[in-house]
Amino acid sequence: MQGIDFALRRLESNPHPDVFVWISRTQTDTDAPLDVLLDALGIGTEAITFRADDEDAFVDLRASQP
- pTM attached to this predicted model: 0.67
- Lowest-pLDDT range of 14-18, 42-46, 55-59: 55-59
Cβ neighbours of residue 60 under 8 Å, at least 6 residues apart?
49, 50
Mean pLDDT calculated for residue range 10-27: 80
**Distance of alpha carbon 57 from alpha carbon 62, whole angstroms:** 15
- Is residue 36 within 8 A of residue 45, CB to CB? The reply is no
